[in-house]
Amino acid sequence: MDHLTHRPRRLRRDGVRSLVSEVDLSASDLIAPVFVDATTDDRQPIPSMPGHERVPVDEAVARVEEVRETGVEAVIVFGIPQEKDPRGTRAWAADGVVQRAVRAITDETDAYVITDVCMCEYTDHGHCGVVEENAADDPTLTVKNDETLDRLSETAVSHAEAGADMVAPSSMTDGMVGAIREGLDGAGYPDVPIMSYAAKYESAFYGPFRDAADGAPAFGDRRHYQMDPANAREAMREVELDVEQGADVLMVKPALPYLDVVSAVRREFDHPVAAYNVSGEYAMLHAAAEKGWLDLEAVAHESLLSIKRAGADLILTYFAEDVAEQL
């Protein structure tokens, strides 16, 4: 085989292999989710998400300090309110769980604080907005789109008032980015960026998160507003609409089953791209590792590396702290 001119293995030898590596991870690529629970005075482990907890409001700062110690610079805050109602009014309350936590976190840490803007944790029916009349009894009925926009805008403004550095609307409501941008600008927060959940699929990988955030629908599902997992071209239309409305960062959720979409968004748009390595992706690796079938540290790193390779600039992941400590 002396005639072989091209031998790719030449660049896989120790020493040169790392020099020609095309993608690497750093702690600054990662965003760590933090769950703050107004209903508890103690940290509550999340059984389906090993290593994660809901923390009371007065421990939000300590929780974020733990994240920062690993080198991760950014967190995204999710809240579990003291009480819920059909319209999710605690989502935009000045003394709401996220608002209180964000004030404390921004006052006492140097973390970059992002907030999730949605209503599913705050409504007693668990849907991502104001539902149509009789929706509980009729599976063809769904969330009222335009009425929900006002509530999302009000929520985002309340988060900015509390000190959030960035807001992240996740409800897949048509027009949500434009409504929030208008609300923020009108309230005097033109410099608060929006990270839009631009292509969010109706995925089976969200199960553990719904345990963590207490946001599972009480009836029906979310197929009328979250995307069909079969559709990739539709994702490009969704993302383009959010760009037109002023989105600053474009997110794809979930990540690993949708790397083709992450890659397509990266090719078509010059905005920063985020991907959410969701709770089901996290839980299934933990479950396999507990069986002894996988090396958890290795597969976690490889999973995040593949998301970065596909084109994500930012990765929201429950592995943030563990992987950052390895880097």
Residues belonging to the active site = 200, 253
Give the side-chain half-sphere CA count within 13 A for 162: 28
**What whole-number distance in Å separates Cα of residue 307 and Cα of residue 7?**
28
- What share of residues in the chain are helix, strand, coil (percent, to 5)? 40, 15, 40
222 has binding-site annotation: yes
Alpha-carbon gap, residue 145 to 73, rounded angstroms: 34
Would you give the distance in Å from CA 38 to the centre of its chain?
20
Coil/strand/helix, residue 282: helix
Tokens of 250: 């474009």
Report whether 281 belongs to an annotated binding site.
no
- Contacts for 205 with CB less than 8 Å, ≥ 6 apart: 254, 257, 278, 279, 280, 281
Annotation-wise, does 128 bind a ligand?
yes
Q: Is 279 annotated as a binding residue?
A: yes
Residue 68 marked as a ligand binder: no
Please count the residues of the chain: 327
Q: How far apart are CA 327 and CA 322, in angstroms?
A: 9
**Which uninterrupted H or E stretch holds 63?**
helix 60-69
Q: Output the DSSP codes for 157-221.
A: HHHHHHT-SEEEE-S--TTHHHHHHHHHHHTT-TT--BEEEEEEB--GGGHHHHHHHT---SSS-
Known binding positions for Mg(2+): 238
Known binding positions for Zn(2+): 118, 120, 128
Known binding positions for 5-aminolevulinate: 210, 222, 279, 318
Known binding positions: 118, 120, 128, 210, 222, 238, 279, 318
